[in-house]
Amino acid sequence: MVPVASLGPNLKTIGGELVFSAGILQLTSGQDAIRQAAECRLRTFRNEWFLDGSIGVPWFERIFGKKVAEAPVRAVLREELLAIPGVTEVPTLDLTFDPAARSLAITFVLQTAAGEVAGSVSA
């Protein structure tokens, strides 16, 4: 399922729920919008969104598998984060694999013209 926030404007969400104020849908902007875009891209599979198949991580094509090395995974995720408008650098990208749970925790810091943006995603 494609995250709501990746479907167009930067929709403001709290806990995955849309935020309304006086009946008006609220939008994010600035650093919050960049953090949200990063988290949405990392949670979206390549070709998942019918409006733009290039958005999202190629999880099936390049990451999922047995005994995958960390360096190629890191390179794919860094490439995806750098594709976000406004992101100039990815100074921090930490990956925590849990083979028993078959999960991956991603923590990142992105550099933008307005400063740093931090976020995290569990996959």
CATH topology of domain 4-122: Nuclear Transport Factor 2; Chain: A, (3.10.450)
For the cut 70, the answer to whether the pLDDT of residue 104 exceeds it is: yes
Percent of the chain scored above 70 by pLDDT? 88
CA distance 64 to 45: 11
Q: Domain locations in the chain?
A: 4-122
- pTM of the prediction? 0.78
The letter for the amino acid at 122 is S
pLDDT at 27: 76
pLDDT at 67: 79
List, for residues 47-71, the tens digit of each pLDDT value: 998 888 888 899 988 888 877 888 9
Q: Which residue in the block uniquely carries the two structure tokens 């100039």?
A: 88
